[in-house]
Amino acid sequence: MAVLLTKDTKVIVQGITGYQGLYHAKLMKEYGTQVVGGTRPGKGGEEVDGFPIFDSVSEAKAATGANASVIFVPAKFTRLAAIEAIEAGIDLVVIITEGVAVWDTMEIVDLANKRGVTVVGPNCPGLMTPGQAKIGIIPGDIVGSGKIGVVSRSGTLTYEVAHQLHKAGMGISTIFGIGGDPVKQTNFTKVVKLFNDDPETEKIVLIGEIGGDAEEKAAEYIKQHVNKPVVAFIAGKTAVEGKTMGHAGAIVSGNVGTAAGKINALREAGAQIADKLSEIPELLK
């Protein structure tokens, strides 16, 4: 069953006239996603490669019935773009842009929580319901449809675990790349809850990494509420204390955010731990 994203979801692309926005709008449409248009202030009424352009998200929503947005605008404009989408009544906002200021993200998340809007990202590859739709930049040809829910902080590892499952003949219900920034609304706990509540998702894969306590909080939720099989992998076991490894949120300080701590918490919650990504399909069996 689709989680948050279905074939009926109508998507607008904020920043559709930029290279990345247009490139991925085409890929999303080719995959089957209903990309109904995009926004670029001052370009309303024009078209780009068959996609209608609107001056604002509210105009796009009124004209197309859009209920989701994906943001490809530069980091310094992301806060305004996300707030515009939230205030226009968009239900799902996916922020692909990286380098967004933490303070801007905090403001976006606060407003989204108040308005009941789901925000995925920033600095994320997005999400995909295989065979139905995708929002973001996850390659469509490496993900098959099935009953395994996947959530990951790392974009690259999102693709790799999808590929490993696909090679093993295992399909995915919905795959989330939630992003590696330290502040986010759609975190591990929220996605695990969505998978746990979804009757068509039978097993869960969680791909975490060093830094922060999101995996530990998810482990606590899993221990108390989840009765579905969970397989987890934590990246960054060899990271040096105090050094950021790839993501803004991937920093270890003292006993906080260590790979060992996350692995122990997940194992105590009943999750099976993969030492390598290639072990995940076998553990799921």
Active-site positions read 247
Residue carrying structure tokens 């122990």: 264
Opening angle at CA 268, ends 264 and 269, nearest 5? 120
Residue carrying structure tokens 């692309």: 13
212 sits in the region (left: phi over 0; alpha: psi -120 to 50; else beta) called left
3-state secondary structure 37-100: EEECCCCCCCEECCEEEECCHHHHHHHHCCCEEEECCCHHHHHHHHHHHHHCCCCEEEECCCCC
**Inter-CA distances, 139 with 22, 126, 272, Å:** 15, 11, 27
Please give the helix or strand (H or E) that residue 264 lies within, else none. helix 259-268
User: To 10 degrees, what angle do helices 57-64 and 75-87 make?
Assistant: 50
